Structure 1
Amino acid sequence: MSFSVLGAGAFGTALAISLCGNGPVTLWARRPGDMETTRVNTARLPDCPFPPNLQVTDNLTEAVGADVILLAVPLQKLREVLRAHADVLRGKRLVACCKGMEIGSGLGPVSIIAAEVPDATAAILTGPSFAADIARGLPTALTLGCADEDAAKALQQALTTDNLRLYRTTDTIGAELGGALKNVIAIACGAAMGAGLGESARAALLTRGFAELKRLARHLDARPETLSGLSGFGDLVLTCTSPQSRNYRLGQSIGEGGTFDRAVTVEGAATAKAVHRLALKAGLDLPITAVVAGLIENRQDVSSAMASLLARSLKEE
C-alpha cells in the first residue's frame, strides 16, 4: 500500500517517516527546498532523517496517486487546498491530520472534506501526540475517526505502524471537537502558568475546560465516550501540560506579557474565535473559551480574565 502526506510541517513529516514502515510514502510540500537531497526536514525535525522509501515532491498530481492521502495542512487552509485540487482528490481516501474549527463556518476537518470533496472517504487522525515523538519512533496512540465502519477498519489497519497504535470511532464530530477545543484550553493553561498563577489554577482550568468540551459535544450530538478517550481527554492532558505544545506556549507568552512568533501556526487561536461565535449563537456557556477569545483579540488581559472566571456565580459541579 502507498501513502501520501500533503503538508511538510512537523506533524506531516513525522507521519510520513512513521508510515514508511508500511509502504512507500510521498511527502508533498509547497516549497520542498532541499529536503529530497538532504533527506531531512531541517526546519521542522532536524534530527529525524528520512527513510529510503520516502519521496519528497512539489507535484500534487504525483502525490495524489497514492492509496491513502493524509492531509496535514493547517485547518484554516484546508478548504482552500481541497477546493483548489478537488478534481484530483475525488473518490480518494482522505485522512485529515489537522485540528481546529474553521473561523467562517465553525466546521471541523471531516465536515470540510465532505463539503468540498463529497465523494471522497473522509476521516480524521487525532489524539495526544507530538511530532518529534512520532518521528523518533516513540510509542503513540491516536484516534481514527471515520463514519464508514468498513472504511475505518481498513484505514486503521493501513495506518497502524510499529510505534503508532490506532483506535477507531465512527463519531467524527466527537473526534473533531476533542482535537479542536483542547487547543483553546491549552492557551488558557499556558496563560495561567505564564502569569505565575500556579499548578492548582492550571488543574482547575484543565478540568473545567473538559466540562466545556463535553457541553459543546452534547450540543453537537457527539458521543460522550469519544470525549473521554484519546481524542478528547488524552489530547487535553498532553496539550495543557507540556511546553512542546505551540498552543500552550502561546498562552504562556500571553501570561508573561511577551511576544510570540507569528510564523508559528497555532490552531487554538483561530478555534477560540470560531467556538466563541458558535457558543454565542447557540446560547452555550463556555466561559474559558470566551476569555481565551478575549485574550487572543486583546479585549482582556490575564488578570481581568481570571477575575471574570472567579466572579462567576457559584453552582453545583
Structure 2
Amino acid sequence: MSHDHPARAAVFSAGSWGTAAAKIMADAGSDVIMHARRSEIADAINTSRRNPAYFPDVDLPVSLTATTDPATALDGADYLVLSIPAQTLRAALAAWTPHIGPDTVIVSLMKGIEQGSGLRASQVIAEVTGVSADRVAVLSGPNLAREIMVGQPAAATVACPDEDAARRFQTACHTWYFRPYTSTDVIGCELGGAVKNVVALGAGIASGMGLGDNATAVLMTRGLAETTRLATAMGAHPATLAGLSGLGDLVATCTSPLSRNRTFGTHLGRGSTIEEAAAATRQTTEGVKSAEAILDLAHVHGVEMPITEVMAALLHEKISLDEAAAALMQRPPKPER
C-alpha cells in the first residue's frame, strides 16, 4: 500500500491503551478515528480533546477524532487497531467485521488468551473476520499507557507474518518517543504478552506480602522460563521471549505500580478478596481471565508452568494465599537448565 495521503487508522476502543495507541499513531502523522462505546466519551474527545474516563489531564492531537459508529470509524481505514478485553473480542469483532475493508490490516494490542478455545487474539481475529493471517499483526512491548500518554520513551515489537505489512505499520506508529521494531514471530509476541500478566499477578502478590525484591526477581526469571517453554512448544522463536515483547514487557508489568495486573496481585497479597481486588483495580486485568486458558495450553503442549498453575489455583480459590506464596517460592531443587 503506497500512500500519498497519511495512513488512516481506526482504533477500537477508547480504553487506556487504545487511547495511548491512538495518540501514538496521530503523533506519527496518521489520521486516527477512535471508536468509543459511549457517546459522552466520543463527544469529549471531539470537543475538549481529552479522554475524561482515562486521561482527563492529557491533551490529544488534533488529527485524532472519535465516533460511536463502527462503520464511520472503519471507512477507508488502512489499519484497524484492536484494544478491547480479550474475552469480549469474538462477539465485538463479529459486529464490526462487515465494515472492515478488503485491504485493511488488523493490528491486535490484546494480551490475553480466549477462555474455552485457548486461542490467541490473532487467531480469533482470523477466525471471526476470515482475513488471511498476513493481514493480522500484533503490537506488544513494555507499554504502560500513562507513560506513553505524557511522551515518556517506550518501544515495542510489531509482528506480522508479512514483513512488509509489519514495516508499514512500524512507520505508522514510529514517533520521537515510541520506537517499534519488526518481527514475524506472532506466536512469541502474543504469548509473551499474555503470560507476563499472570506472572505479574504473582509479582504483585509477593510485593503485597512484603516478600522483597529478590522474590520478585526470582518470579520474573522463572516466569520468563515457563513462558519461553510454552511459546517454543507452540512454534515461537526463543529469542522473541528475550526481546521487548517478552522480557521487556515482563519487567515493566511486574515492577511498575502503573501495571494493572501487578496492582491486582498486590491487593491479593495484602489480604483482599478477588472481588475487592477487582473493584480496586477497576480496569481489565487480562491475567485474571487468561490464567486458566494458558494452563490449558500448557497441558495440551505437555509443558510445566508452575507459576501459572499456582495463580490459576489461587484465582479459583482452590488454594489459600499462604499456600500460593509457599508454592511460588518453594520449588523442588533441580538443575536450572
**TM tier relative to shorter chain:** over 0.9
**Is 1:55–2:72 an aligned residue pair?**
no
1:210 and 2:210 correspond: no
Deviations 1:288-317 (A, max 9, x none): 000111111111222101323455432100
Tell me by how many angstroms 1:168 deviates: 0.6
**1:102-141, aligned counterparts within 5 Å?**
102-119=114-131, 121-141=135-155
Q: Distance in 1 between matches of 2:56 and 2:96?
A: 30
Matched residues in 2 for 1:173 and 1:315: separation? 29
| Whole-angstrom CA distance in 2 between matches of 1:80 and 1:197 | 41
The answer on 1:64 being equivalent to 2:70 is no
Kindly indicate whether the alpha-carbon contact (under 8 Å) linking 1:114 and 1:122 is maintained by their aligned counterparts in 2: yes
- Do the aligned residues in 2 keep the contact of 1:125 with 1:142 (CA within 8 Å)? yes
Q: CA deviation at 1:101?
A: 0.8
Separation (CA, whole Å) in 2 of partners of 1:282 and 1:148: 26
Identify the match of residue 247 of structure 2 among 222, 233, 245. 233
CA distance in 1, matches of 2:39, 2:157: 29
Inter-partner Cα distance in structure 2 for 1:173 and 1:261: 29
The answer to whether the Cα contact below 8 Å between 2:234 and 2:301 also exists between their aligned partners in 1 is: no
Structure 1: which 5+ runs fail to align? none
Match among 75, 81, 92 for residue 92 of structure 2: 81
| Partner deviation per Cα, 1:115-157 (whole Å, 9 max, x = no partner) | 1122251001110011112111221101101011121122112
Between 5-14 and 113-122, report the one with greater CA deviation.
113-122
Report the 3-state secondary structure (helix = DSSP H, G, I; strand = E; otherwise coil) of the residue aligned with 1:275: helix
Q: Secondary structure at the match of 1:20?
A: helix
Matches of 1:172 and 1:129, distance apart in 2 = 17
**Which one of the candidate residues 1, 4, 8 is aligned to 2:10?**
4
- C-alpha distance after superposition, 1:239-282 (max 9, x if no partner): 00111100000100111012224442100111111111222333
Change in Cα spacing, 1:236 to 1:88, as seen in structure 2 (3 Å) is same
Q: What's the TM-score once normalised by structure 2's chain length?
A: 0.90
Gaps of at least 5 residues in structure 2 are 1-6
Q: CA deviation at 1:23?
A: 2.5
Take 2:270 and 2:235, find their aligned partners in 1: how far apart are those partners? 38
Partners of 1:177 and 1:213 within 8 A in 2: yes
Which of the residues 275, 280, 296 maps onto 2:299?
Answer: 280
CA contact (8 A) 1:140 1:165 kept: yes
Paired residue type of 2:129:
V
CA RMSD of aligned residues (A): 1.4
> Amino acid of the residue matched to residue 97 of structure 2?
A
Distance in 2 of aligned mates of 1:5 and 1:310: 41
Q: Please give the alpha-carbon distance, in whole angstroms, between the structure 2 residues aligned to 1:211 and 1:233.
A: 10
| More divergent stretch after superposition (147-156 vs 306-315) | 306-315
- 2:4 aligned partner: none
When structure 1 is superposed on structure 2, of 177-186 and 104-113 the one drifting more is 104-113
In structure 1, the partner of 2:47 is 37
Q: Is the 8 A contact 2:198 2:308 kept in 1?
A: yes
- Greater CA deviation, 154-163 or 69-78? 154-163
Compare 155-164 and 122-131 and name the one that shifted more: 155-164
DSSP 3-state at the match of 2:210? coil
- CA deviation map 1:69-108 (0-9, x unaligned): 2111111111112212222125221101111111121111
In 1, Cα distance between the equivalents of 2:331 and 2:88? 36
* Inter-partner Cα distance in structure 1 for 2:300 and 2:110: 25
CA contact (8 A) 2:20 2:148 kept: yes
- 1:303 paired to 2:322: yes
Distance 2:206 2:247 in 1: 20
Percent identity between the aligned chains?
Answer: 43
Q: Structure 1's 97 and 309: CA in aligned 2 closer, same or farther, altered over 3 A?
A: closer
Q: Is the 8 A contact 2:313 2:319 kept in 1?
A: yes
Residues 311 and 154 (structure 1), Cα distance of their counterparts in 2 relative to 1, 3 Å cut: closer
**CA shift for structure 1 position 43:** 1.5
* Count of aligned pairs between the two proteins: 317
Q: Distance in 2 between matches of 1:97 and 1:314?
A: 38
Letter in 1 for 2:277: F
Shift of 1:113: 1.2
Letter in 1 for 2:87: Q
Is 1:248 aligned to 2:262, yes or no? Answer: yes
Q: Tell me, what secondary structure is at the counterpart of 1:46?
A: coil
Report if aligned partners of 1:190, 1:249 keep a CA contact under 8 Å in 2.
Answer: yes
TM-score (norm 1): 0.96
Aligned to 2:34: 27
Corresponding residue SS for 1:123: strand
* Contact 1:2/1:23, CA 8 A, preserved across alignment: yes
Give the partner amino acid of 2:159.
G
